[in-house]
Structure 1
Amino acid sequence: MDHAAASWEVGHEPGPQVVSLGVALTLTAVSIDVLLAGRLTLFFDLCFVALSLGLAALVRRRDFYMVALLPPLLMTLVFAFVALVARSAVADPRDSLLQAVISGVATHGVALFAGYALSLGWLGWRLHRESEAGVAAELERELGQSAG
């Protein structure tokens, strides 16, 4: 049975590993951006969008729920961390922690929306594609048994 699926179409990585990878890569993008620009810029936004899509491609099907919830949680938690250690990277240094997190999420809301939409779209496409393949395999099995 050849489904002609490329390795990037079907993820095989466990959810906890994908979440850990997402946290590590997001913090890496934040570190690079803050070191080079002193704040979060379009570089972070583009990395976040690509990362959201990439994580949706890597995760195995039974762990979809972890990645489906990841982009908003990841951005909020990372901005909370950045607001604790380098508040001026996401907001005015005089802002409270909560205000800095909200300001960061609002400023990078387009990246959050795009990353989340692409992630959910990719997961939905994978569910649709894999369910079609499952139905086709089931029909093939049933027809093969009744013919023989």
Structure 2
Amino acid sequence: MVPDSTPALIDRLARFERVVEVGIGNRTDVAAGLAARGVAVTATDVRDCPVPDGVRFLRDDVTGPDPSVYASADAVYALNCPPELQRAVAAVARGADAACLLTTLGGDPTTLPVTQETIPGDTLFVVDTDAPGAGRRRGRGGRNGR
């Protein structure tokens, strides 16, 4: 049985003070867990989605984004991010000078230079936003220098 990756994702992303989740859809558990830990969470999707208490929702399409949605983020992340959206997610992170983290669905490849972090139940990809065509990363940093 594959372990649930939610607690590990929350632990990793809770290092940041302000995050944006791209494409929240109906999987709100990570955003809810981050909000419960005091992280300021904004969730986006191309359609209106209900989000948990403490999570701000903004309708946005990462392929034609409103830069103000991402401007104050320390990190931009996407869960089960398909290859065709990875460059767009990295681009909004770069525009915000934010870290970019993502997971993929099953055997989908990453299309960007990344560093892999193995977490229980999944692999978290930290996009090298300094690489051409990706985005610029502030570093692994986060809240309180962790």
TM-score (normalised: structure 1):
0.28
Between Structure 1 and Structure 2, whose CA radius of gyration is higher? 1
TM-score (normalised: structure 2):
0.29
Asked which structure has the greater RCO (Cα within 8 Å, sep 6+), the reply is 1
Q: Which has the larger helix fraction?
A: 1
Q: Which has the larger strand fraction?
A: 2
